[in-house]
Amino acid sequence: MDKGYLDSRWRFEIFLYFKKDAGYSSRIDAIQTMLRELEKKWGVTYHLVESTNLSEAEVEKLKVHLRSISPQVRGKIVSSKRYILPLSGSKNLNLDNTPILILF
């Protein structure tokens, strides 16, 4: 497919934040395969970021990005039934149960 119609001002990057020894870690390779396909088809750059490689400042920045989501949507991110998702009840970053994929 010709990507020539895409406006050059729209350059996106995808960041996948994950914890290497989490229960979902076996699925990271499949997610990375999908990200490679996006990169090849649409030219979207992706980055894999393992949680132990995040500085405190980067963790805070990620939390700010997650909190910038509207409250109606953010409530669905903080908790979903019995699962704790990317932000824990105390609003700390939680990559134990689910990876975080952000499109910038």
The answer to whether the beta carbons of residues 53 and 18 sit under 8 Å apart is: no
40, 1 contact by CB (below 8 A): no
Q: What is the pTM of this model?
A: 0.74
Of the candidates 17, 19, 16, 15, the residue with the CA atom closest to the CA atom of residue 96: 19
pLDDT, tens digit (0-9, with 9 covering 90-100), for 54-96: 999 998 888 888 777 776 665 555 555 555 556 655 667 778 7
Domain parsing of the chain, residue ranges = 13-103
Q: Which two tokens stand for residue 6?
A: 């895409």
Question: Pick the residue with more confidence: 104 or 75?
Answer: 104
Task: Considering only CA atoms, give the Rg of the chain.
Answer: 15
Instruction: Measure the CA–CA gap between 33 and 45, rounded to whole angstroms.
Output: 13
